[in-house]
Amino acid sequence: MQARVDLAEERIRAADAQGSWFQDPKPAAQAFVTLADLSRVERRALAIRLRDRPLENVLGGMSLGDNALERDDATVVRDAILVAQELAYLQGQALRGVGLDAALARAGELVRAARAKLAQLPPTAPDTERQKARAEVDRLEAMFFGQKSEALGMLRRDAAQGGEVDGGIALHESRLRAMGADPGAKNGPMEWPTDRP
């Protein structure tokens, strides 16, 4: 655990050393994505370090510290995806190159782990345990690629604006597969909206 926290702190401090996150928000996006790769316990250890030795980018560091104290892994991953999108938008850039793929993969790990936990419940498991596991799967799917998901809307917009020959459909589908979306779902997140962004 300590080695992962050390590496994350090193990456975040390197992003901090690149200058003002207001002038160049790409390092801030990288810092948030780095945070998303840590477990709750690892984030807490990192938060203590950031509190003891604050970042030069004070406001960004405070926000990063707050996210480090978040108990829910999925919320941290979703926030990293959204921060990366917002910062890329401010710079007028596509989302590529800010570590977004790592955050999407982490989202997929969480979704697949929740599905596996539900699938591995024995037939004799209490209904409350089964309902709890089902609720977690539903919560994660809704958070990352449900029809009202902020992350889904952002990914669709970015893919459509990326200048791809197919209008971004392949990029969008690959990102959703990374997050654990079901490619065969009727009216699911893979279906490109008719009112394309």
What's the pLDDT band for 185 if we cut at 50, 70, 90?
low
The structure's pTM equals 0.73
List, for residues 102-155, the tens digit of each pLDDT value: 788 888 999 999 999 999 999 999 999 999 999 999 999 988 888 788 888 777
Helices and strands, counts by H and E, the chain: 9, 0
Mean pLDDT calculated for residue range 162-183: 78
Q: How many CB atoms lie within 10 A of CB 187?
A: 7
Mean pLDDT calculated for residue range 10-23: 84
Cα(182)–Cα(161) distance, integer angstroms: 23
How far is C-alpha 195 from the chain's CA centre? 25
Residue 75 pLDDT > 50, yes or no?
yes
Residue 48 pLDDT > 80, yes or no?
yes
Residue of 23, 33, 186, 138 lying closest to 91 (CA atoms): 23
Cα(158)–Cα(46) distance, integer angstroms: 31
Mean pLDDT calculated for residue range 84-101: 63
